[in-house]
Structure 1
Amino acid sequence: MGRVSKAQAQEKRQEVVATASRMFRERGTAVSIADLMKAVGLSHGAFYKQFASKDDLVDKAIAHAFEDPATHSPMAPEEHAEEHEAARRTLIEQYLSIWHRDHAEDGCPVSGFATDLGRDPDQAARSQQVYIKGVRNRAARLATGDDDGVVQLCTMVGALVLARATRGNPISEELLQAARTALTENGSGRPTRS
Protein backbone atom coordinates (compact mmCIF):
# COMPACT_ATOMS: atom_id res chain seq x y z
CA MET A 1 0.00 0.00 0.00
CA GLY A 2 1.30 3.47 -0.87
CA ARG A 3 1.97 6.27 1.53
CA VAL A 4 -0.83 8.57 2.55
CA SER A 5 -0.54 12.18 1.40
CA LYS A 6 -0.64 15.02 3.93
CA ALA A 7 -4.05 16.01 2.62
CA GLN A 8 -5.37 12.48 3.09
CA ALA A 9 -3.88 12.29 6.59
CA GLN A 10 -5.50 15.63 7.50
CA GLU A 11 -8.84 14.44 6.10
CA LYS A 12 -8.65 11.26 8.22
CA ARG A 13 -7.68 13.29 11.28
CA GLN A 14 -10.76 15.50 10.80
CA GLU A 15 -12.89 12.38 10.39
CA VAL A 16 -11.54 11.00 13.67
CA VAL A 17 -12.28 14.31 15.45
CA ALA A 18 -15.81 14.51 14.01
CA THR A 19 -16.55 10.87 14.86
CA ALA A 20 -15.14 11.31 18.36
CA SER A 21 -17.28 14.41 18.87
CA ARG A 22 -20.42 12.47 17.99
CA MET A 23 -19.47 9.33 19.96
CA PHE A 24 -18.44 11.30 23.05
CA ARG A 25 -21.75 13.21 23.07
CA GLU A 26 -23.65 9.97 22.67
CA ARG A 27 -21.72 7.65 25.01
CA GLY A 28 -19.39 9.87 27.01
CA THR A 29 -15.63 10.35 26.84
CA ALA A 30 -15.08 6.87 28.24
CA VAL A 31 -15.38 5.55 24.65
CA SER A 32 -12.22 3.57 24.01
CA ILE A 33 -9.65 4.55 21.41
CA ALA A 34 -10.05 1.07 19.87
CA ASP A 35 -13.83 1.53 19.45
CA LEU A 36 -13.39 5.02 18.05
CA MET A 37 -10.75 4.01 15.54
CA LYS A 38 -12.80 0.98 14.52
CA ALA A 39 -15.75 3.30 13.81
CA VAL A 40 -13.51 5.35 11.51
CA GLY A 41 -11.97 2.28 9.88
CA LEU A 42 -8.43 2.82 11.17
CA SER A 43 -6.18 0.79 13.41
CA HIS A 44 -5.65 1.57 17.08
CA GLY A 45 -1.99 2.36 16.33
CA ALA A 46 -2.96 4.99 13.77
CA PHE A 47 -4.43 7.08 16.59
CA TYR A 48 -1.03 7.90 18.06
CA LYS A 49 0.27 9.09 14.70
CA GLN A 50 -2.43 11.76 14.74
CA PHE A 51 -2.93 12.71 18.41
CA ALA A 52 -0.67 13.16 21.43
CA SER A 53 -3.21 11.52 23.75
CA LYS A 54 -6.87 10.78 24.22
CA ASP A 55 -7.15 14.00 26.25
CA ASP A 56 -5.85 15.87 23.19
CA LEU A 57 -8.59 14.28 21.08
CA VAL A 58 -11.30 15.06 23.66
CA ASP A 59 -10.24 18.73 23.59
CA LYS A 60 -10.43 18.77 19.80
CA ALA A 61 -13.78 16.92 19.78
CA ILE A 62 -15.32 19.46 22.17
CA ALA A 63 -14.02 22.35 20.07
CA HIS A 64 -15.36 20.67 16.91
CA ALA A 65 -18.82 20.30 18.46
CA PHE A 66 -19.01 24.05 19.09
CA GLU A 67 -17.82 25.04 15.59
CA ASP A 68 -21.25 25.12 13.92
CA PRO A 69 -21.94 28.87 13.81
CA ALA A 70 -25.59 28.47 12.87
CA THR A 71 -26.48 26.78 16.13
CA HIS A 72 -23.85 27.90 18.59
CA SER A 73 -23.16 31.55 17.86
CA PRO A 74 -24.76 34.57 19.48
CA MET A 75 -27.51 36.47 17.70
CA ALA A 76 -26.24 38.20 14.59
CA PRO A 77 -26.22 42.01 14.92
CA GLU A 78 -28.53 42.38 11.92
CA GLU A 79 -31.14 40.04 13.39
CA HIS A 80 -34.23 42.05 14.31
CA ALA A 81 -36.26 41.50 17.47
CA GLU A 82 -39.05 39.66 15.62
CA GLU A 83 -36.55 37.42 13.86
CA HIS A 84 -34.76 36.82 17.14
CA GLU A 85 -37.98 35.80 18.90
CA ALA A 86 -38.87 33.40 16.08
CA ALA A 87 -35.33 31.95 16.12
CA ARG A 88 -35.45 31.67 19.91
CA ARG A 89 -38.75 29.78 19.85
CA THR A 90 -37.47 27.46 17.11
CA LEU A 91 -34.31 26.80 19.12
CA ILE A 92 -36.37 25.94 22.21
CA GLU A 93 -38.73 23.66 20.25
CA GLN A 94 -35.84 21.82 18.57
CA TYR A 95 -33.74 21.61 21.71
CA LEU A 96 -36.59 20.20 23.79
CA SER A 97 -37.71 17.74 21.12
CA ILE A 98 -37.90 13.97 21.26
CA TRP A 99 -35.49 13.87 18.31
CA HIS A 100 -32.84 15.83 20.26
CA ARG A 101 -33.42 13.66 23.32
CA ASP A 102 -32.83 10.54 21.23
CA HIS A 103 -29.87 11.83 19.17
CA ALA A 104 -27.29 13.09 21.62
CA GLU A 105 -24.55 12.32 19.08
CA ASP A 106 -25.87 15.10 16.83
CA GLY A 107 -27.08 17.31 19.64
CA CYS A 108 -25.97 20.27 21.63
CA PRO A 109 -22.46 20.06 23.06
CA VAL A 110 -23.54 22.03 26.14
CA SER A 111 -25.65 19.12 27.35
CA GLY A 112 -23.56 16.49 25.55
CA PHE A 113 -20.31 17.24 27.37
CA ALA A 114 -21.58 18.65 30.67
CA THR A 115 -21.50 15.41 32.60
CA ASP A 116 -18.03 14.36 31.45
CA LEU A 117 -16.55 17.78 32.11
CA GLY A 118 -18.15 17.76 35.54
CA ARG A 119 -16.53 14.41 36.35
CA ASP A 120 -13.05 15.18 35.07
CA PRO A 121 -11.63 18.44 36.45
CA ASP A 122 -8.46 18.14 34.33
CA GLN A 123 -10.47 17.81 31.12
CA ALA A 124 -12.74 20.62 32.24
CA ALA A 125 -9.75 22.89 32.86
CA ARG A 126 -8.32 22.18 29.38
CA SER A 127 -11.64 22.60 27.55
CA GLN A 128 -13.14 25.25 29.77
CA GLN A 129 -12.70 28.30 27.52
CA VAL A 130 -14.27 26.61 24.49
CA TYR A 131 -17.09 25.23 26.61
CA ILE A 132 -17.79 28.52 28.41
CA LYS A 133 -17.86 30.41 25.11
CA GLY A 134 -20.35 27.84 23.80
CA VAL A 135 -22.53 28.19 26.90
CA ARG A 136 -22.49 32.00 26.68
CA ASN A 137 -23.27 31.98 22.96
CA ARG A 138 -26.15 29.54 23.41
CA ALA A 139 -27.56 31.66 26.25
CA ALA A 140 -27.25 34.80 24.10
CA ARG A 141 -29.41 33.16 21.42
CA LEU A 142 -32.11 32.78 24.07
CA ALA A 143 -31.84 36.28 25.56
CA THR A 144 -34.97 38.42 25.70
CA GLY A 145 -35.12 42.01 26.90
CA ASP A 146 -33.35 42.22 30.23
CA ASP A 147 -32.99 38.41 30.45
CA ASP A 148 -29.51 37.22 29.41
CA GLY A 149 -30.81 33.72 28.56
CA VAL A 150 -28.82 31.88 31.25
CA VAL A 151 -31.88 30.68 33.21
CA GLN A 152 -33.55 29.60 29.98
CA LEU A 153 -30.45 27.62 28.98
CA CYS A 154 -30.30 26.01 32.43
CA THR A 155 -33.95 25.01 32.07
CA MET A 156 -33.39 23.54 28.62
CA VAL A 157 -30.21 21.63 29.47
CA GLY A 158 -31.67 20.33 32.73
CA ALA A 159 -34.89 19.19 31.07
CA LEU A 160 -32.98 17.48 28.26
CA VAL A 161 -30.62 15.65 30.61
CA LEU A 162 -33.55 14.49 32.76
CA ALA A 163 -35.54 13.44 29.67
CA ARG A 164 -32.60 11.39 28.41
CA ALA A 165 -32.21 9.74 31.80
CA THR A 166 -35.91 8.79 31.89
CA ARG A 167 -36.31 7.79 28.22
CA GLY A 168 -38.86 5.01 27.86
CA ASN A 169 -41.07 6.36 30.63
CA PRO A 170 -43.87 8.89 30.03
CA ILE A 171 -42.19 11.36 32.38
CA SER A 172 -39.46 11.84 29.77
CA GLU A 173 -41.85 13.54 27.34
CA GLU A 174 -43.58 15.34 30.21
CA LEU A 175 -40.27 16.94 31.19
CA LEU A 176 -39.63 18.16 27.65
CA GLN A 177 -43.15 19.53 27.31
CA ALA A 178 -43.08 21.26 30.70
CA ALA A 179 -39.85 23.06 29.83
CA ARG A 180 -41.12 24.02 26.34
CA THR A 181 -44.30 25.44 27.85
CA ALA A 182 -42.45 27.34 30.57
CA LEU A 183 -40.07 28.89 28.05
CA THR A 184 -42.51 29.79 25.28
CA GLU A 185 -45.99 30.41 26.67
CA ASN A 186 -45.54 34.14 27.20
CA GLY A 187 -42.58 34.81 24.91
CA SER A 188 -40.34 36.08 27.68
CA GLY A 189 -38.78 32.82 28.69
CA ARG A 190 -40.48 33.11 32.04
CA PRO A 191 -43.62 31.16 32.94
CA THR A 192 -46.83 33.10 33.25
CA ARG A 193 -47.95 33.34 36.85
CA SER A 194 -51.56 32.50 37.64
Structure 2
Amino acid sequence: MRYNPEHKQKTYDKVLKEAMLAIRKNGSDIGIPKLMSKVGLTHGGFYAHFKSKEDLINVAIEKMFLDRMEMLKECLNTDDTLSGLENYIDKYLSEKHRTHPELGCPAAALITEISRMPASTQLVFEQGMDLLLLELSNAIKQLSTTSNPAELATILLTEMIGCMTFARVIQNEERAKQVLATTRHHLKTMLQQLS
Protein backbone atom coordinates (compact mmCIF):
# COMPACT_ATOMS: atom_id res chain seq x y z
CA MET A 1 0.00 0.00 0.00
CA ARG A 2 1.38 3.40 -1.00
CA TYR A 3 0.90 6.29 1.38
CA ASN A 4 0.42 9.89 0.30
CA PRO A 5 3.24 12.41 0.89
CA GLU A 6 1.40 13.99 3.84
CA HIS A 7 1.21 10.63 5.65
CA LYS A 8 4.91 10.01 4.95
CA GLN A 9 5.81 13.44 6.38
CA LYS A 10 3.74 12.84 9.52
CA THR A 11 5.43 9.49 10.04
CA TYR A 12 8.87 11.06 9.48
CA ASP A 13 8.04 13.78 12.03
CA LYS A 14 6.90 11.20 14.60
CA VAL A 15 10.07 9.13 14.19
CA LEU A 16 12.26 12.24 14.40
CA LYS A 17 10.48 13.53 17.51
CA GLU A 18 10.86 10.19 19.28
CA ALA A 19 14.51 9.98 18.21
CA MET A 20 15.25 13.46 19.60
CA LEU A 21 13.83 12.45 22.98
CA ALA A 22 15.79 9.19 23.00
CA ILE A 23 19.09 10.72 21.87
CA ARG A 24 18.99 13.48 24.50
CA LYS A 25 18.18 10.89 27.13
CA ASN A 26 20.46 8.01 26.06
CA GLY A 27 22.94 9.46 23.59
CA SER A 28 23.65 7.48 20.44
CA ASP A 29 22.73 4.24 22.19
CA ILE A 30 19.27 4.05 20.66
CA GLY A 31 17.77 0.90 19.22
CA ILE A 32 15.99 1.36 15.90
CA PRO A 33 13.50 -1.52 16.48
CA LYS A 34 12.49 -0.06 19.86
CA LEU A 35 12.26 3.44 18.42
CA MET A 36 10.07 2.32 15.53
CA SER A 37 7.89 0.28 17.84
CA LYS A 38 7.19 3.42 19.90
CA VAL A 39 5.72 5.12 16.84
CA GLY A 40 3.77 2.01 15.81
CA LEU A 41 5.97 0.95 12.88
CA THR A 42 8.22 -1.96 12.03
CA HIS A 43 12.01 -1.85 11.92
CA GLY A 44 11.89 -2.16 8.12
CA GLY A 45 9.82 1.02 7.86
CA PHE A 46 12.75 3.02 9.23
CA TYR A 47 14.61 2.89 5.91
CA ALA A 48 11.78 4.61 4.08
CA HIS A 49 12.75 7.74 6.03
CA PHE A 50 16.46 7.53 6.93
CA LYS A 51 19.51 5.99 5.26
CA SER A 52 21.05 4.76 8.52
CA LYS A 53 21.10 5.22 12.26
CA GLU A 54 23.90 7.78 11.82
CA ASP A 55 21.71 9.70 9.37
CA LEU A 56 18.85 9.74 11.89
CA ILE A 57 21.12 10.94 14.70
CA ASN A 58 22.57 13.71 12.51
CA VAL A 59 19.13 14.92 11.40
CA ALA A 60 17.86 14.77 15.00
CA ILE A 61 20.79 16.76 16.39
CA GLU A 62 20.40 19.39 13.68
CA LYS A 63 16.68 19.72 14.49
CA MET A 64 17.39 19.93 18.23
CA PHE A 65 19.74 22.85 17.67
CA LEU A 66 17.23 24.59 15.40
CA ASP A 67 14.60 24.23 18.12
CA ARG A 68 17.00 25.72 20.68
CA MET A 69 17.70 28.59 18.29
CA GLU A 70 13.98 29.32 18.18
CA MET A 71 13.86 29.40 21.99
CA LEU A 72 16.85 31.78 22.08
CA LYS A 73 15.26 34.05 19.45
CA GLU A 74 12.00 34.12 21.43
CA CYS A 75 13.93 35.22 24.52
CA LEU A 76 15.70 37.93 22.51
CA ASN A 77 12.50 39.15 20.84
CA THR A 78 12.36 42.21 23.08
CA ASP A 79 13.44 45.83 23.00
CA ASP A 80 15.62 45.17 26.05
CA THR A 81 18.52 42.93 24.98
CA LEU A 82 19.81 42.56 28.53
CA SER A 83 16.48 41.24 29.84
CA GLY A 84 16.28 38.91 26.81
CA LEU A 85 19.69 37.44 27.59
CA GLU A 86 18.82 37.16 31.27
CA ASN A 87 15.61 35.35 30.33
CA TYR A 88 17.64 32.91 28.22
CA ILE A 89 20.03 32.28 31.13
CA ASP A 90 17.06 31.68 33.46
CA LYS A 91 15.47 29.19 31.06
CA TYR A 92 18.72 27.39 30.31
CA LEU A 93 19.83 27.12 33.93
CA SER A 94 16.40 26.16 35.23
CA GLU A 95 15.38 23.24 37.39
CA LYS A 96 13.05 22.11 34.60
CA HIS A 97 15.95 21.90 32.14
CA ARG A 98 18.06 20.05 34.70
CA THR A 99 15.44 17.40 35.38
CA HIS A 100 14.29 16.97 31.77
CA PRO A 101 17.38 16.58 29.58
CA GLU A 102 15.26 14.81 26.96
CA LEU A 103 13.49 18.12 26.26
CA GLY A 104 16.43 20.49 26.44
CA CYS A 105 19.63 21.61 24.82
CA PRO A 106 21.48 18.91 22.86
CA ALA A 107 24.80 20.41 23.91
CA ALA A 108 24.18 19.86 27.63
CA ALA A 109 22.74 16.41 26.94
CA LEU A 110 25.48 15.15 24.60
CA ILE A 111 28.63 17.13 25.40
CA THR A 112 30.34 14.22 27.16
CA GLU A 113 29.57 11.77 24.35
CA ILE A 114 29.91 13.78 21.15
CA SER A 115 33.67 13.22 20.80
CA ARG A 116 33.03 9.46 20.51
CA MET A 117 30.42 9.85 17.77
CA PRO A 118 31.19 9.71 14.02
CA ALA A 119 32.89 12.70 12.39
CA SER A 120 29.70 13.60 10.49
CA THR A 121 27.78 13.81 13.78
CA GLN A 122 30.51 15.91 15.38
CA LEU A 123 30.29 18.31 12.44
CA VAL A 124 26.50 18.66 12.77
CA PHE A 125 26.95 19.29 16.50
CA GLU A 126 29.64 21.91 15.88
CA GLN A 127 27.48 23.68 13.30
CA GLY A 128 24.59 23.76 15.80
CA MET A 129 26.85 25.26 18.44
CA ASP A 130 28.06 27.84 15.92
CA LEU A 131 24.45 28.91 15.25
CA LEU A 132 23.82 29.51 18.95
CA LEU A 133 27.13 31.31 19.39
CA LEU A 134 26.45 33.61 16.44
CA GLU A 135 23.01 34.56 17.78
CA LEU A 136 24.43 35.21 21.27
CA SER A 137 27.34 37.19 19.81
CA ASN A 138 24.93 39.39 17.84
CA ALA A 139 22.88 40.03 20.98
CA ILE A 140 26.01 40.94 22.97
CA LYS A 141 26.98 43.39 20.19
CA GLN A 142 23.66 45.17 20.73
CA LEU A 143 24.22 45.22 24.47
CA SER A 144 27.77 46.51 24.53
CA THR A 145 30.61 48.03 22.57
CA THR A 146 32.90 45.26 23.81
CA SER A 147 35.69 44.49 21.38
CA ASN A 148 35.06 40.75 21.33
CA PRO A 149 31.38 39.74 21.51
CA ALA A 150 32.15 36.29 20.04
CA GLU A 151 34.50 35.56 22.94
CA LEU A 152 31.88 36.61 25.49
CA ALA A 153 29.23 34.53 23.72
CA THR A 154 31.54 31.51 23.94
CA ILE A 155 32.10 32.10 27.65
CA LEU A 156 28.37 32.49 28.27
CA LEU A 157 27.31 29.38 26.38
CA THR A 158 30.08 27.10 27.58
CA GLU A 159 29.56 28.11 31.21
CA MET A 160 25.85 27.33 30.91
CA ILE A 161 26.54 23.94 29.28
CA GLY A 162 29.17 23.06 31.87
CA CYS A 163 26.97 24.17 34.75
CA MET A 164 23.99 22.16 33.49
CA THR A 165 26.12 19.07 32.90
CA PHE A 166 27.53 19.31 36.43
CA ALA A 167 24.15 20.04 38.05
CA ARG A 168 22.67 16.92 36.46
CA VAL A 169 25.18 14.61 38.12
CA ILE A 170 24.82 16.11 41.60
CA GLN A 171 22.74 13.76 43.74
CA ASN A 172 21.83 16.33 46.39
CA GLU A 173 18.87 18.33 45.02
CA GLU A 174 19.56 21.44 47.09
CA ARG A 175 23.20 21.53 46.05
CA ALA A 176 22.24 21.11 42.38
CA LYS A 177 19.77 24.01 42.67
CA GLN A 178 22.45 26.13 44.32
CA VAL A 179 24.93 25.43 41.51
CA LEU A 180 22.33 26.61 38.97
CA ALA A 181 21.44 29.69 41.02
CA THR A 182 25.08 30.69 41.55
CA THR A 183 25.89 30.41 37.86
CA ARG A 184 22.74 32.30 36.84
CA HIS A 185 23.76 35.13 39.18
CA HIS A 186 27.37 35.14 37.94
CA LEU A 187 26.43 35.26 34.25
CA LYS A 188 23.79 37.95 34.71
CA THR A 189 26.26 40.08 36.68
CA MET A 190 28.79 39.69 33.86
CA LEU A 191 26.21 40.88 31.30
CA GLN A 192 24.99 43.77 33.49
CA GLN A 193 28.55 45.06 33.70
CA LEU A 194 28.65 45.27 29.90
CA SER A 195 25.57 47.45 29.50
8 A Cα contact 2:78 2:84, kept in partner: no
2:86 aligned residue: 89
Alignment correspondent of 1:116: 113
> Comparing both structures, which one devotes a greater share of its residues to helix?
2
Q: How far 1:53 sits from its partner (Å)?
A: 0.3
Residue 50 (structure 1) aligned with residue 54 (structure 2):
no
Q: How far apart, CA to CA, are the structure 2 residues paired with 1:99 and 1:141?
A: 27
Q: How does 1:61-100 map to 2 (within 5 A)?
A: 61-68=60-67, 69-73=69-73, 80=79, 83-100=80-97
Q: Which amino acid aligns with 1:184?
A: K
Question: Structure 1, unaligned stretches of length 5 or more?
Answer: none
Specify which of 108, 124, 129 is matched with residue 127 of structure 1. Answer: 124
For residues 75 and 141 of structure 1, the distance between their equivalents in structure 2, rounded to whole angstroms, comes to 14
Structure 2 unaligned runs (5+)?
A: none
Compared with structure 1, are the counterparts of its residues 173 and 189 closer, same or farther at alpha carbon in structure 2 (3 Å cutoff)?
farther
Counting aligned pairs with the same residue, the percent is 25
- 1:183 maps to 187
- Alpha carbons 2:90, 2:184 under 8 Å: kept: yes
Letter in 2 for 1:158: G
Q: Which amino acid aligns with 1:28?
A: G
Alignment of 1:2-81 (within 5 A): 2-68=1-67, 69-73=69-73, 80=79
How has the CA–CA distance of structure 1 residues 141 and 179 changed in structure 2, closer, same or farther, with 3 Å as cutoff?
farther
CA drift at 1:18: 1.9
Q: For residue 163 of structure 1, give the secondary structure of its aligned residue in structure 2.
A: helix
User: What per-residue deviation string (whole Å, max 9, x for no partner) do you get for residues 80-130 of structure 1?
Assistant: 4xx111111111111111101011111112222323322224244441453
Give the C-alpha shift of residue 168 in structure 1: 4.3
Q: TM-score, normalised by structure 2?
A: 0.81
- Residue 67 of structure 1 aligns to a residue whose secondary structure is helix
Alpha-carbon distance change, 141 to 155 in structure 1, aligned in 2, over 3 angstroms: farther
User: Which residue among 157, 162, 173 is the counterpart of 1:158?
Assistant: 162
2:100 corresponds to which residue? 103
Shift of 1:55: 0.4
TM-score w.r.t. length of structure 1: 0.82
Code of the residue aligned with 1:62 in structure 2: it is: I
Q: Deviations over 1:140-180 (max 9, x none)?
A: 37634224321111111111000111144432112111101
CA 51–124 in structure 1, closer or farther in 2 if over 3 Å, else same: closer
Rate the CA distance shift 1:125–1:26 in 2: closer, same or farther, 3 A. closer
**Residue 171 of structure 1: SS of its match in structure 2?**
helix
Cα distance change on mapping 1:183 and 1:113 into 2, 3 Å: same
Two-structure CA RMSD over aligned residues (Å): 2.7
